[in-house]
């Protein structure tokens, strides 16, 4: 925890099960070596006991040493057993998540492979599946704890206008509804996008309007990146081009969140695009972002660093999965989804545990996603339950910019890979930026 922020490597679990098993094997080997020492010590102890009149202290010391060696050997064997059990549980949790994804994708071959591996694990440890299911059930109920608490308190406050009974009914009703919805989203995996997911549907027509290119500077951190997302006016996408010292180019794309509550109006950044993207369909806002990158000069395979808030985070998540660009960095602020991006992408998720939009990601993937250095930064932004919650303060870009600044300032070594990205962009010899507005064609 840093300044109220929890930083972790990603996922509900991010455990290298093979390392656990290798460590268990080492403890087994240590236990065997200690047992061999005890076996060699036995004759010496007998000899000393036979001459205890002359070597009583040595006999007593050798006996105490033998007991201590056996205790350490037993402890090593117990640690090995527990490490193997933990590895089995963690692997089953990940396999169960993959099995669910394969089921929804209709991938029978993958399901068969996963079933075979699960059977192997359960044959060696029959109790592992029960423990894994217990972990999954506990997480399904506990991950939305802050949101459920706040909604319960809010419902109680509103209901108390009608008396004590009204407060109880309001608290249980609102809190129960939020908990039920969150658990359903989490178990259903609606906001978790598998690695092989691709947007469906043809590219919708979009009219793109570019502002004149302007000279710019490189972002200095996560807050600086958040503040570059278009917030006022008609612009929805900002693309920055970085010319490096060797003449190569990199790009950064900053994508705004939802701007309109309509279902299919002129503005592509509306509720219709939210629904489409959440369902895995190609939205006009996604198409506008792709065309903005193309208009700025980005070509397939070019290096792209993607930053998105809310709907913009859904857009950039799919951009990383589609594979048209080399998306080296994916930073999301309050994303309603979490994409299982490849190890070539540094994935940084900034979430507020009391943000109902971020909760649509269902707590994220069980395992970590993205490459080395990827991380999740979480905190409760607005702990109190009051009328201000109706404005959903925990989801605003301004609130996420505040959290991003705390991450920037963190001394946690896991933030090092994030700093490296901005250090690299800071070495560009030339930077320019273009902002784009869009309307449905």
Residue 1 maps to a domain: no
Let me know whether 375 and 412 are in one domain: yes
Let me know whether 206 and 129 are in one domain: no
Stretch among 102-116, 259-273, 379-393 having the lowest mean pLDDT: 379-393
Let me know whether 352 and 306 are in one domain: yes
Distance CA 153, CA 266 (A): 39
Let me know whether 66 and 181 are in one domain: no
Let me know whether 106 and 154 are in one domain: no
Residue 220 maps to a domain: yes
Per-residue three-class SS string for 221-277: CHHHHHHCCCCCCCCCEEEEEEECCCCCEEEEEEECCCCECCCCCCCCCEHHHHHHH
Reported as type and span, the H/E element at residue 398 is: helix 397-409
Residue 2 maps to a domain: no
Q: Alpha helices, DSSP H only, in 51-107? A: 52-105
Q: How many CA atoms lie within 13 A of 213 on its CB side?
A: 13
pLDDT of residue 211 exceeding 80, the answer is yes
Let me know whether 78 and 60 are in one domain: yes
Reported as type and span, the H/E element at residue 295 is: helix 284-295
Q: Provide the pLDDT confidence category of residue 414 given band limits of 50, 70 and 90.
A: confident
Domain count, the chain: 3
Distance CA 413, CA 405 (A): 16
Tokens of residue 340, six digits: 């299982």
Let me know whether 81 and 208 are in one domain: no
Let me know whether 169 and 226 are in one domain: no
Distance CA 269, CA 86 (A): 45
* Residue that is last in its domain, among 156, 188, 220: 188
Stretch 404-430: mean pLDDT, rounded?
Answer: 94
Predicted structure pTM score: 0.77
Residue 9 maps to a domain: no
Stretch 330-342: mean pLDDT, rounded?
Answer: 95
Residue 5 maps to a domain: no
Residue 120 maps to a domain: yes
- The end-to-end CA distance of the chain, in Å, is 47
Let me know whether 376 and 235 are in one domain: yes
Query: pLDDT for 105-144, tens place per residue?
Result: 678 898 999 999 999 999 999 888 888 887 766 666 555 6
- The pLDDT mean for the chain works out to 87
Q: Provide the pLDDT confidence category of residue 1 given band limits of 50, 70 and 90.
A: very low
Largest CA distance in the chain: 103
Quick one: which of 256, 253, 214, 215 has its CA closest to 233? 256
Let me know whether 42 and 148 are in one domain: no
Strands 346-352 and 375-379: parallel
Residue 361 maps to a domain: yes
Let me know whether 372 and 263 are in one domain: yes
Stretch 37-53: mean pLDDT, rounded?
Answer: 77
The radius of gyration computed from the CA coordinates of the chain, to the nearest angstrom, equals 28
Owning domain of residue 42: 15-137
Let me know whether 60 and 163 are in one domain: no
Distance CA 16, CA 367 (A): 10
pLDDT of residue 183 exceeding 70, the answer is no
- Name which residue leads in pLDDT, 108 or 104: 108
Stretch 62-81: mean pLDDT, rounded?
Answer: 87
Residue 408 maps to a domain: yes
């Amino acid at each position: 925890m840093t300044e109220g922020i929890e930083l972790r490597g990603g996922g509900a679990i991010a455990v290298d099960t093979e390392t656990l098993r290798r460590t268990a094997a080492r403890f087994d080997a240590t236990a065997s070596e200690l047992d061999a020492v005890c076996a060699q010590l036995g004759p010496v102890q007998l000899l000393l006991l036979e001459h205890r009149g002359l070597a009583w202290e040595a006999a007593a010391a050798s006996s105490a040493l033998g007991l201590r060696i056996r205790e350490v050997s037993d402890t090593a064997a117990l640690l090995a057993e527990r490490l193997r059990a933990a590895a089995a549980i963690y692997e089953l949790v990940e396999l169960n998540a993959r099995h669910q994804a394969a089921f929804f994708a209709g991938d029978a071959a993958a399901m068969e492979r996963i079933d075979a591996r699960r059977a192997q694990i359960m044959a060696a440890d029959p109790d592992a599946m029960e423990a894994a299911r217990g972990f999954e059930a506990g997480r399904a109920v506990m991950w939305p704890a802050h949101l459920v608490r706040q909604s319960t308190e809010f419902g109680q406050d509103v209901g108390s206008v009608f008396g004590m009974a009204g407060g109880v009914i309001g608290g249980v009703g609102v809190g129960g509804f939020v908990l039920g919805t969150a658990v359903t989203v989490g178990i259903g995996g609606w906001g978790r996008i598998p690695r092989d997911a691709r947007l469906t549907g043809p590219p919708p027509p979009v009219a793109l309007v570019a502002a004149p290119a302007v000279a710019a500077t490189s972002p200095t951190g996560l807050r600086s990146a958040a503040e570059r997302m278009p917030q006022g006016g008609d612009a929805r996408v900002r693309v920055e081009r970085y010319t490096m010292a060797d003449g190569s180019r990199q790009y950064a794309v900053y994508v705004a969140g939802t701007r309109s509550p309509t279902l299919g109006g002129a503005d592509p950044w509306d509720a219709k695009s939210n629904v489409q993207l959440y369902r895995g369909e190609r939205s006009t806002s996604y198409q506008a972002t792709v065309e903005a990158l193309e208009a700025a000069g980005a070509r397939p395979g070019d290096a792209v660093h993607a930053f998105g808030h809310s709907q913009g985070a859904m857009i950039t998540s799919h951009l990383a999965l589609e594979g048209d660009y080399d998306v080296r960095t994916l930073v999301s602020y309050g994303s309603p989804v979490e994409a299982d991006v490849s190890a070539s992408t540094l994935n940084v998720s900034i979430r507020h545990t009391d943000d109902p939009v971020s909760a649509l990601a269902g707590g994220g993937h069980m395992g970590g996603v993205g490459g080395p250095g990827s991380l999740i930064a979480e905190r409760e932004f607005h702990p109190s339950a009051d009328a201000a919650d109706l404005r959903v303060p925990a989801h605003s870009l301004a609130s996420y910019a505040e959290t991003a600044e705390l991450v920037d300032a963190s001394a946690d070594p896991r933030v090092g890979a994030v700093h490296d990205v901005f250090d690299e962009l800071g070495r560009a010899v030339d930077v320019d930026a273009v902002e784009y507005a869009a309307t449905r064609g």
